[in-house]
């Protein structure tokens, strides 16, 4: 009997969805990403203001953060670098979203794990998310 309980516990562990924090001040983007990624079996928390990020990260413990570069009165690149500089959050992969063109994206300097230009297809975002959560990027 104890072996079955351990097996059931372990199998539940693997069924828990990965947690993604989405940070954007555009309500439409938040809703679209929330809906799309929830349909892909991710557990989503959304934040619409930079000052809410620290509390959300602490309470939600995301396994990945999707962060808009141009966020209300803040710069997502600076937020990203702050998160990557903290021992509490440095391990969390961060994907930056931006409406910048490809040439401007190439000039971005920050510690993001990935940068994705808008508009984007959900199907192009998914492999990046999966690879980052599964630690397939260096």
Instruction: Identify the CA nearest to 137 among candidates 78, 117, 127, 46.
Output: 127
- Give per-residue pLDDT as tens, 58-92: 999 999 999 999 887 888 989 999 999 999 999 99
Domain ranges across the chain: 18-133
Residue 8, pLDDT above cutoff 50: no
CA dihedral 16, 18, 19, 22 (to 10 degrees): -150
Question: Spelled out in words, what is the top-level CATH class assigned to the domain 18-133?
Answer: alpha beta
User: Confidence class of residue 115 from pLDDT cuts 50, 70 and 90?
Assistant: confident
Mean pLDDT of the chain: 83
pLDDT at 1 over 80: no
pLDDT tens, residue by residue, 33-50:
999 999 999 999 999 999
Average pLDDT rounded to a whole number, residues 1-21: 58
Residue-level pLDDT at 127: 92
Q: What is the spatial order of strands in the sheet that 64-68 belongs to?
A: 43-47, 19-23, 64-68, 94-98, 114-117
């Amino acid at each position: 009997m104890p072996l079955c309980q351990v097996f059931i516990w372990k199998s539940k562990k693997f069924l828990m969805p990965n947690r993604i924090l989405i940070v954007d001040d555009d309500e439409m983007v938040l809703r679209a990403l929330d809906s799309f990624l929830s349909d892909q079996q991710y557990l989503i928390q959304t934040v619409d203001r930079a000052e809410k990020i620290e509390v959300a990260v602490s309470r939600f413990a995301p396994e990945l953060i999707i962060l808009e570069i141009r966020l209300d009165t803040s710069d997502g690149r600076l937020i990203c670098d702050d998160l990557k500089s903290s021992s509490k959050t440095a391990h969390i992969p961060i994907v930056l979203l931006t409406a910048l063109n490809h040439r401007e994206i190439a000039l971005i300097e920050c510690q993001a794990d990935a940068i994705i230009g808008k508009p984007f297809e959900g199907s192009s975002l998914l492999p990046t998310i999966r690879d980052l959560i599964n630690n397939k990027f260096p």
